[in-house]
């Protein structure tokens, strides 16, 4: 799972985004980082393999102009071109996502995705995340271009949305981006949350959420987004914050958040409630208490044996889903529970290693 953040307001976005991401990048990221801001009708982007410190050292991201932007960190460093955000063919739309593709192992996912991709490919769209050689299999969730190379799935969402809104006039652009994002999430659903910005919308961030966590924080004439409230500046952490509801589209402006009445057809998520949150809190308390010497990373906390305790309904409830599909709010509830421990002053964390995956990650325990 990745970590993402967004900001729109009256201050320069880049320093705020960078500070937010530095607080949480190693929750499950730090191996590929990217940022996009908007200024005077132009998109400013930078991305590379490495963490925020690497981004600052090797690019001029900190000096990017603009008061609206998004930032992303992912836990894989396989290819530099797979860092987010992705940009569409016009260079106007920047798009990033946090999530997993359990559902993408279904044949329907490939049939729909590769059909959309082939159409864009025939129209001359260049997929900048393309990698590999014809006839090589890179994983059951990977989409394959007509020339045999694979791409990062998020770039298909980016290019398809960008192509659909390219000629839309400014007055209808915000609605068009939200509707096209919802359409793509319906065609190719997975456990995702997405953020996007467009060069012709200088104070707007579009959010598309199926299951993965996304929290909104508020300032005076400015709005913050992050995977967890722990990424917000301290003064924003101290104020009330709101989760974006599952299976919804939202528009973020300096004046706040608007949850749009745009459906994501064919995708139904069993949301967390007071019972599931209480059950998960008890499970995490048991796992994390007294582990100062052996703290645990988020991925080490995930336990599919918890499903019968947390959820009443079947694991698969999506029109495109493999038998391993979940489409539940488990990750969002884990983040919300960690936030509750943090707010109580009990959560502790440190950087640690998962040697089997050769990565550095945040590890947690409770006092």
pLDDT in tens, 52-100: 999 999 999 999 999 999 999 998 767 788 899 999 999 999 999 998 8
- What pLDDT sits at residue 179? 98
Local confidence band at 324 (pLDDT 50, 70, 90 cut-offs): very low
Give the largest Cα separation in the chain, rounded: 58
11 or 355: whose pLDDT is higher?
11
The predicted-structure confidence for 99-111, as pLDDT tens digits, reads as follows 887 666 677 888 8
Rounded to an integer, what distance in angstroms lies between the CA atom of residue 276 and that of residue 95? 32
pLDDT at 326: 54
Arithmetic mean of pLDDT, 164-187: 96
The values of phi and psi at residue 259, to 5°, are -80, 120
CATH number of 3-102+154-260: 3.60.20.10
**pLDDT tens column, 17-32:** 999 999 999 998 888 9
Torsion, CA 304, CA 328, CA 104, CA 305, rounded to 10: 10
> Are 256 and 268 in contact, with CB atoms under 8 Å apart?
no
CA–CA distances in Å: residue 351 to residues 10, 23, 64, 157, 294: 33, 12, 29, 33, 12
How many CA within 13 A on the CB side of residue 95? 28
Please, which residues bridge with residue 196 across strands? 95, 206
Using pLDDT thresholds of 50, 70 and 90, give the confidence band for residue 136: low
Higher pLDDT: 148 or 37? It is 37
Q: Where are the domains of the chain?
A: 3-102+154-260
Query: Computed from CA positions of residues 344, 7, 51, 78, in that sequence, does the dihedral angle turn out positive or negative?
Result: positive
């Amino acid at each position: 799972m990745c970590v993402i953040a967004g900001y729109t307001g009256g201050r320069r976005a880049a320093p705020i985004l960078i500070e937010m991401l530095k607080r949480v990048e190693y929750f499950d990221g730090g191996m590929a980082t990217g940022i996009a801001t908007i200024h005077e009708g132009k998109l400013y982007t930078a991305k590379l393999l490495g963490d925020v410190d690497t981004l600052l050292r090797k690019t001029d991201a900190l000096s990017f102009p603009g008061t609206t932007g998004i930032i992303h960190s992912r836990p894989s460093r396989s290819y530099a071109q797979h860092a987010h955000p992705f940009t569409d063919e016009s260079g106007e739309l920047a798009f990033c996502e946090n999530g997993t593709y359990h559902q993408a192992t279904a044949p329907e996912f490939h049939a729909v995705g590769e059909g959309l991709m082939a159409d864009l490919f025939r129209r001359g769209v260049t997929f900048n995340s393309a990698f590999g050689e014809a006839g090589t299999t890179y994983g059951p969730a990977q989409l394959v271009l007509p020339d045999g190379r694979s791409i990062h799935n998020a770039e298909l969402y980016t290019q398809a949305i960008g192509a659909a809104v390219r000629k839309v006039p400014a007055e209808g652009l915000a609605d068009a981006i939200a509707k096209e994002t919802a359409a793509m999430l319906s065609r190719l659903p997975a456990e995702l949350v997405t953020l996007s910005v467009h060069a012709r919308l200088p104070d707007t961030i579009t959010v598309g959420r199926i299951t993965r966590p996304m929290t909104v924080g508020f300032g005076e004439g400015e709005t913050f987004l992050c995977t967890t409230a722990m990424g917000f500046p301290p003064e924003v952490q101290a104020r009330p914050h709101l989760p974006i509801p599952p299976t919804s589209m939202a528009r973020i402006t300096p004046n706040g958040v608007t949850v749009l009445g745009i459906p994501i057809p064919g995708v139904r998520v069993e949301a967390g409630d007071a019972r599931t949150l209480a059950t998960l809190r008890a499970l995490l308390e048991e796992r994390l208490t007294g582990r100062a010497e052996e703290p645990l990373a988020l991925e080490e906390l995930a336990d599919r044996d918890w499903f019968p305790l947390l959820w009443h309904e079947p694991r698969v409830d999506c029109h495109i889903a493999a038998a391993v599909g979940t489409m539940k709010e488990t990750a969002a509830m884990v983040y919300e529970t960690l936030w509750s421990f943090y707010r109580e002053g009990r959560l502790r964390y440190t950087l640690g290693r998962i040697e089997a995956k050769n990565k550095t990650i945040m590890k947690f325990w409770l006092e």
